[in-house]
Amino acid sequence: MAGRVSDGAIHHFAGGSRLTATIERKSARQVSKVDRFLTLIRVFLVTLIVVGILAFIAQQVAPENPFARWRNPDAVGLTGDQFKGLLMSGLSQGAMYGLIALGYSMVYGVLGFINFAHGEVFMAGAMTGFIASDKFSQTGMWESNFLLSLAIIIILAIMVSTLTAVLMERVAYRPLRESPRLIPLITSIGVSFFIQNAVMGVFGPSTKSYPQLPQWLSKQRSILTFEIAGTKLLVLLVAAVSMGGLWYLVERTKTGKAMRAVAEDKEIAALMGINVNRTIVTTFAVGGAMAGIAGILWGLLFRSVTHMTGFLPGIKAFTAAVVGGIGNLPGAMIGGISLGSAESIAPLVILEPLGVPGVSQLKDAVAFTVLVLVLLFKPSGLFGEQLSAEDRA
């Protein structure tokens, strides 16, 4: 049986396979067409960005020089204050993306799937905030005791959002924990659709406006030469405090340790005596709470909320989580802030100098382009992914 094969051994397909093999060998060495095309896209996008920025700088330095006039003859550039204003709007908006992104990032880190419906958790917070603040405003408490009402609506929003997230996990995701990762993703799309339309049905499709904020909060303030509206300042402050709290929770408490262990390997964590189910619920709850806070901040900043409020910020927050490296919590926050700034500044700094009219409409397109760019250049995000062992493969 173990004897050597004689030279006359029957080669069933040998003739054909040798021929094919030589043909394949010639092409094997070449870079595939797809790769070449991708390189082309990368080069194109980078060139676009660099030229845009250069043209912008040219316009800032000397508006009359031919390069500045090349694509956009009516370019006026930005004043320093305008730029700072854009940056501040971007930062405050980005801080909210960051807060929502934490939920995506944590869930992805622990369960390895994108909870598409997380944007709806955020919307639930914003909606709760509206209902409560509207009631307060009717009774006059909003004006007479603003801080107390604010505290109450924040707590309410956190409660509702947390509840929404936990229910979602219990009803829709827990039964699917072992399925291939696209299955819970598709389910979460359904959940998102359902919540959006249920909220529309129950609370009506109209746009709902938060009551006026007190003057002392919303007025412009000047900090380090930056003119910033008080509301935006509040957003940044609250976001920073929440992030700090979350960091403490994850890194310094037993719950956080359990979360990290479950994220690393569910089975081993269970063997170590960690209650995996409870930890996963906690993860959803904490993510939900962060989204609830973001919801209130959104309401205070833009003062309007509809059943669709969660959709775009949700996707952008996912983008932020990817930009920062999914599973990486500080990354999510920084990703959010970068994305917010990018979508607020890039249209005016890159697209406007290139002669694109109506750039503010392209804000969302810019955000998605950032997502594509990050995935093209650094799929693991700027600060690296932190995924469980099974998801890294």
Partner 1 sequence: MSHLMEIRDLKITFGGLDALSGLNFHVDEGEIVSVIGPNGAGKTTFFNAITGLVDPTEGDIIFEDESILGLDPHQVTGLGIARTFQNVRLFPNMTVLENIMVAQHCRTSQLILGALLQTSAFKKEEKEIEERAKEVLAFFGSRLVGYRYDQPAFVLSYANRRRLEIARAMATQPRLMLLDEPVAGMNPMETAELTALIGRLRSEWGFTIVMIEHDMRVVRDVSDRVVVLDHGVPIAQGSYDEVSTNPDVIEAYLGRPAEGQG
Partner 2 sequence: MSTTMTSSGSSAAGGFRAPVTDQEWSKIGKWGGLCVLALVLVSLIGMPVGLDRRILIHPVLSLGYLSLLWIPLVMGSVVSRHIELEGVESPEPGGRELLAGALTGLIGGAGMAVFILALDNFNLRDPLVNWSPQLLELLTYGRGIGFGALAWILACVLLGLVGSAIHVVPAGLRRVVSHSFFGLLTFAVLEGAISDLSEGFGLEFLTDSIYAKRGGLTVVWSIVLAVLIGGVSMLTKGRLKAAKADYGALQGPERKRASRILFVSVALMTIILPLFLGTIMNELLANVGLFLLLALGLNIVVGLAGILDLGYVAFFAVGGYTTAVLTSPDSPFFAPELHFAVTLVIVVVFAGIVGLVIGAPVIRMRGDYLAIVTLGFGEIIRLLFMSDWLKPYFGGAQGITNVPGVDLGFVVIKGTDPRSVFYLVLVFCALAIYISWRLQASRLGRAWMAIREDEKVAEAMGINTVNAKLLAFVVGAVLASFSGAVMVAKVGSVFPNSFMILVSIIILVVVIVGGMGNIAGVLVGSFVLIGILGGPRQPGLLHEFQSFKLLIYGALLVYMMLQRPEGLVPSARRSQELHQEEFLQDVWLKGEEHEQEEHEAELHAAEAGGSEPDEGSGS
Contact stretch for partner 2 (CB under 8 A) within 9-17, 181-189, 237-245, 338-346: 181-189
Percentage helix, strand, coil, to 5, in the chain? 75, 5, 20
A 10 A CB-CB count for 278 gives 12
Residues 308-347 that bind partner 2 (CB under 8 A): 315, 318-319, 322
* Interface with partner 2 (CB under 8 A), residue from 194, 226, 247, 302: 194
3-state secondary structure of 117: coil
Sequence-ordered list of residues with C-beta below 8 angstroms from that of 21, at least 6 positions apart, any chain: none
12 binds partner 1 (CB under 8 A): yes
Convert residues 13-52 into a mask of x (bound to partner 1 by CB under 8 A) and - (unbound).
Answer: xx-xxx-xx--xx--x---x--------------------
Q: What CA–CA distance (Å, rounded) separates 135 from 137?
A: 5
**Chain CA centroid to CA 133, Å:** 27
- Which member of 62, 201, 221, 278 binds partner 2 (CB under 8 A)? 201
* Closer CB to partner 1, 15 or 80, in the complex: 15
Q: How far is the CB of 11 from partner 2 (least distance, A)?
A: 19
Query: Considering CB under 8 A, how many residues would be counted as binding partner 1?
Result: 20
| Residue 75: closest CA among 88, 62, 85 | 62
Q: Does 111 bind partner 2 (CB under 8 A)?
A: no
Give the shortest CB-237-to-partner 2 separation in angstroms: 29
Nearest to 293 by CA among 137, 195, 156, 199: 156
178: Cβ contacts below 8 Å, ≥ 6 apart: none
- Between 88 and 114, name the residue whose CB sits nearer to partner 2: 114
- C-alpha torsion angle, residues 165, 171, 175, 176 (rounded to 10): -50
Q: What is the DSSP letter of 379?
A: T
Binding residues vs partner 2 (CB under 8 A)? 32, 34, 37-38, 41, 113-114, 131, 134-135, 172, 175-176, 178-187, 189-198, 200-204, 315, 318-319, 322, 356-359, 361-362, 364-365, 368-369, 371-372, 375-376, 379
